[in-house]
A and B are shown apart, each in its own frame.
Chain A
Amino acid sequence: MLITCPYCGPRDVSEYTYQGDGNRARPDAGSTDNQAWNSYVYDRLNIAGEHHEIWQHSGGCRAHLAVSRNTLTHKVSAVAFARDAGHRKSDRHRKSGGAA
């Protein structure tokens, strides 16, 4: 399997670490919505087909990548930096660090 890191170019899967399902939204840090937290930590879409997921280029630049990959064929269709891919929107842990 080959994943094309936006920094490093196409690299073998052995250079990457899978960091799991990219379809999960982390609740606000101070959220007390137990259901939302539980769902975020434990529940997975687990798509048979085009799947959004996070990989770290741990054997390279160590960036986290948001990857679209088909779980039936292993074909990667899109790669972007995870930090640009909108995951942060799901977390509004304010810089002040205060509880919400």
Chain B
Amino acid sequence: MSPRRIDTGGRRVDRDRGIRFTFDGKPYSGHPGDTLASALLANGVTLFGRSFKYHRPRGVLTAGVDEPNALVTVLKGNIREPNIPATQLEIYDGLTVVSQNRFPSLSFDIGAANQLGGKLLGAGFYYKTFMGPVVGPLKGTRFWMFCEYFIRRAAGLGRAGYDKDSARYERTNAFCDVLVVGSGPAGLMAAKAAAQSGKRVILAELEPRFGGSANWSSETIDGMPAADWAQATIAELRERKNVRLLPRTTVWGYYDDNMLAALERVSDHKRDAAKGEPRHRYWSIRPGAVVLATGAFERPLVFPGNDRPGVMLAGAAERYAAEFGVLPGRKIAVFANNDGAYGTALALKKSGAEIVAIVDVRRQVSEAAHAAALSTGGEFLAGHAVVATEGGTKLSGVKVQIFDAATGALSGDPRSIDADCLIVSGGWSPVIHLASQAGVSPQWDDDRQAFLPPKPTQNWIGAGAFNGSFSTAAALSEGDAAGRQAAGETDGPAEELPNVDAPALQSNPAPVFEIRTSGKAFVDYQHDVTAEDVRLAHREGFVSVEHLKRYTTLGMATDQGKTSNVPGLAIMAEALGKPIPDVGTTRFRAPFAPVSIGSLAAERYGDLKPERLTPMHDWHIEHGATMYSAGLWYRPMIYGHSGETIEQAYVREAKAVREKAGIVDVSTLGKIAVQGPDAAEFLDRVYTNMFSTLAVGKARYGLMLREDGFVMDDGTTWRLGENDFLMTTTTANAGKVMQHLEYFLDVVWPDLKVHLTSVTDQWAGAAIGGPKAREILAACVTGTAVDNEAMPFMGIVHGEIAGVAVMICRLSFSGEMAFEVYCGAGHGTHVWKALLEAGKPFGLVPYGLEALGTLRIEKGHVTGAEIDGRTTGRDLHLDWMLSKKKPFIGSAMMDREGMTAEDRLQLVGIVSLDNRPLNGGGHIVEQANPEDPANSLGHITAACYSPALGKFIGLALVKGGKSRHGKRAFTSDPLRNRFGPVEIVSHHFFDPEGKRMHG
């Protein structure tokens, strides 16, 4: 087996301890500190996954977050976590991992047959076919959907599970003066400099270990191995109280006003999370300033066979050797367009690998590079290129040919070189994603052949490789300066910068991105986008960078083009004969790397919205109420007796109200205290009817319009004192009405002296109604009379029930003699129980929303089903409430032609003529045609069985409204297959004169 664990290197792993895990069911071992990638490589595994389209065998290309190939699914019981890069997955005992996108197995995958399709399956092929016949049974979309069924099954990567994730996700907010993103030499220096100024610093590092490239560099800093310097610096920072270190934390989003979002993988690396420990923690961080020290991603070169397992980025190979003590091969070939890979070759040789060849597209290389090449002992092939790779699911050799970097021409005969690993370096792309999210387009730099960060539009400062400053010395000095600047220090360096001993290798690459010859050469590994696909896009005119991306899917995979964007652009630029920046660059979008959806929901996962419970909630539950969720509230729907259907229960309850008495919890009604010397004036302006004329101790029903003249809400408002009103709103609109009133008071009429307070939660309310209601009150209310004189219709009194102060208003929604009893919320259940106790001899029953709805339908009262934001006062026959004596909100707009048109829907009552139930949402037609429903006149807004009438009735909004009273029509409800005759009647079904409630 080619890759293996070696005796040297491996700072990150604890060789003394072993870890056992499985991959595709096969047991393997590794060490604490290993990633899945390093552990599998150490076990000689080279095949990690299958590509998206062609199902080509793929190995591991990188050692970090930029990995396009080695994606796996982690299994925790039935919980599946798909598409995790093996390079980011820290192993633990018992870790269970499976490969993806293969059937039946990773080494034998039927989907690989797609490779035979080859040129048929080029970029965008699906737009040109699968349309099927124009006529016949497969016309329209049928044929496509037939094909799509198979395409969907072939596409996709990992599989998501269906079981609820049992893990906990958490969110936290953080504030600091300086946030440093990335902890390589630049980030460490920035954090140190900022920390020394005493400022609050957060240092976020996406890897488990701080130090970034220092952890695998062969350079020395201040005379010690770079990794030691990094660990010493971290130890120093750890001691400081003003520094917070966040390992395993990916800063993924840069939002407006310097708001950054980060994901901390708190316990992914553990078999079991500690008690109370979440799986992921989502940080929203508001720093004063940000230091972006996010480094750079190495780029691969594009050449035929560049995706064969065994091809790896040079920096990744160096990293596996230094950090994990894993050599990716025994016989390693190097292919580069810059000096960077030479240092890697030396390091790998030092670790015991044989460097078989160094292939460089440049004919001339720097002296330092030349010297390094010679000391690796490998064959040095300047002015050459790799033109093919050999082997099956594992590299066995490479083919090289003479290459002219200026023209891209190949010459001479290709020859083979035995190798089990090819390390590649195509230059470096600064990781400018966060800066790009925060602002404008990046700038192309010819020397570095890379996009450099744009000018800041938010408060960030860049340092190190992020800026395109690839040397460690530059990283240290830029980091120091950035840290100082971010902390607001303006003086020069306080102390000397550390000394760096590094080879004089230049990482600026030759402008070569692709070796163009026959064979599939991959640009985007994961999405199988080849150089030919890019050229096909060019031929078909998809040349702007966004068209290129969208047509070929370049850069759209889970790695988001981290390794492929620039090579893709370069190939398009060449095809167009334009410089790269003229092709453009896409703006990076959040997130920088994929983020668990659970982390973003955090505490709301499993608990989307708060629950609002009335003070009497527990009583309802204890007494058999079936609860109904209404917005955030829970309200009793029925108090069902055993064996009762919902209909039987509400009919029993409603009947009891009409015959004796019933009580219903109305605590959810919106309640707003409107107080102040101008309160009456204010109400005159917001209601369509007058309130300034209302006597103290009386209540009035009020109607409110929106500015556009449509009905907004209704409710009663009680005048408790000269300057003191209690407004009630419907349950659903409580918040909306409050904001509506506040807006007018604060913005439009600030000269009015009125104070608004939401008191919904301060009052418990119970409505008690029925022929016996007054007697029941008389039996339990003290401190006030409740007779007709003390309490005329709409009168308000104050008294006590069972020792608790109550406020009672005689008003009626049910149409019966009825009262609303309000008391402090904390006493709600006490008063409720006392009322029920007092009502026992009178047959008082609690009733729920269904009975409430029945009683109001019988009375023709409107609710949210009729006040649906599209109805006018006239539509609802509430014209009598539209005062002509004063302007009010909506008065100027309510008479426009569209709102007074003849064909508007108007409120009517309907009675079922076939003695079968009607359905809310059923439509009304003149002639029912179940086969081909048409010509709707309107719809049923609410329906019930009316015990008072002994009929199935409903309210409806119907064209023509009143003019149809007494006429026959049909309900047409194809969705529930309910068709039948109805009679259209007045919406006042029951006691239209209101004798019962007026007593």
Contacts and interface: CB of A to CB of B under 8 A. Distances in A.
B892 A2 contact: no
Nearest to B893: A37
Contacts of A62: 742
A87 B256 contact: no
Given A93-B685, A97-B681, A74 B746 contact: no
Closest 7 CB pairs of A and B: A83-B750, A2-B257, A29-B887, A64-B746, A1-B256, A74-B256, A82-B747
| Max chain B Cβ within 10 angstroms of own Cβ: one of A2, A37, A63, A97 | A97
Interface string B885-904: 11100001100100000000
Interface in A10-39: 12-13, 17, 19, 26-27, 29-32, 34, 37-38
Nearest to B756: A62
Given A31-B892, A93-B887, A64 B747 contact: yes
A58 B751 contact: no
A56 B739 CA distance: 9
Interface in B309-345: none
Interface string A72-84: 0111100000110
A41 interface: yes
Nearest to B457: A73
B893 A41 contact: yes
Interface string B680-696: 01001100000010000
B749 A91 contact: yes
Given A42-B708, A93-B748, 18 more contacts: A1-B255, A2-B286, A12-B259, A19-B739, A19-B743, A27-B892, A38-B893, A41-B893, A54-B747, A62-B742, A73-B457, A88-B748, A91-B749, A97-B681, A97-B886, A98-B886, A99-B885, A99-B886
Contacts of A41: 707-708, 893
B610 to A, nearest CB: 14
6 contacts: A27-B892, A75-B256, A88-B748, A88-B750, A97-B692, A99-B885
Q: How large is the interface on A (under 10, 10 to 19, 20 to 34, 35 or more residues)?
A: 35 or more
B678 interface: yes
B684 A91 contact: no
Interface string B962-981: 00000000000000000000
Interface string A55-66: 010100011100
B34 to A, nearest CB: 40
A63 to B, nearest CB: 7
Contacts of B749: 88, 91, 93
B79 interface: no
B269 to A, nearest CB: 31
A74 to B, nearest CB: 4
B742 A95 contact: no
Contacts of B739: 17, 19, 56, 58
Nearest to B751: A88
A83 B887 contact: no
Contacts of A17: 739
B256 A26 contact: no
B678 A95 contact: yes
Nearest to A64: B746
B752 interface: yes
Interface of B: 255-257, 259, 286, 457, 678, 681, 684-685, 692, 707-708, 739, 742-743, 746-752, 885-887, 892-893, 896
A58 B286 CA distance: 21
B747 A19 contact: yes
Interface of chain B, main secondary structure: loop
A26 B748 contact: yes
B681 A56 contact: no
Contact of A2 (B256, B684, B685): B256
A38 B707 CA distance: 10
B681 A64 contact: no
A2 B708 contact: no
Contacts of A75: 256-257
Contacts of A93: 685, 748-749, 887
Contacts of B256: 1-2, 13, 74-75
B675 to A, nearest CB: 15
A56 B887 contact: no
A83 B748 CA distance: 8
Contacts of B752: 95
A5 to B, nearest CB: 13
B442 to A, nearest CB: 18
Contacts of B692: 97
A56 B743 contact: yes
Contacts of A88: 747-751
Contacts of B750: 82-83, 88
A80 to B, nearest CB: 12
A56 B893 CA distance: 25
A82 B747 CA distance: 6
Given A19-B747, A64-B747, A99 B257 contact: no
A37 B743 contact: no
A99 B457 contact: no
A27 B678 CA distance: 21
B892 A64 contact: no
A56 B457 contact: no
Contacts of A38: 893
Contact of B743 (A34, A64, A100): A64
A32 B893 CA distance: 9
B892 A37 contact: yes
A98 B739 CA distance: 25
Nearest to B895: A34
Given A29-B685, A88-B751, A97-B692, A82 B746 contact: yes
A32 B892 contact: yes
A93 B749 CA distance: 8
A81 to B, nearest CB: 8
Given A31-B892, A41-B893, A99-B886, A56 B742 contact: yes
A63 B678 CA distance: 19
A30 B694 CA distance: 22
Given A2-B256, A19-B743, A95 B893 contact: no
A26 B746 CA distance: 14
A41 B751 CA distance: 22
Contacts of B893: 37-38, 41
A34 B747 contact: no
A13 B257 CA distance: 10
B887 A2 contact: no
B748 A87 contact: yes
A89 to B, nearest CB: 10
Contact of B748 (A31, A91, A98): A91
B752 to A, nearest CB: 7
A83 B747 contact: yes
A34 B892 CA distance: 7
B909 to A, nearest CB: 33
Given A34-B896, A97-B685, A83 B746 contact: yes
Contacts of B892: 27, 29, 31-32, 34, 37
Contacts of A31: 892
B751 A99 contact: no
Contacts of B678: 95
A41 B705 CA distance: 13
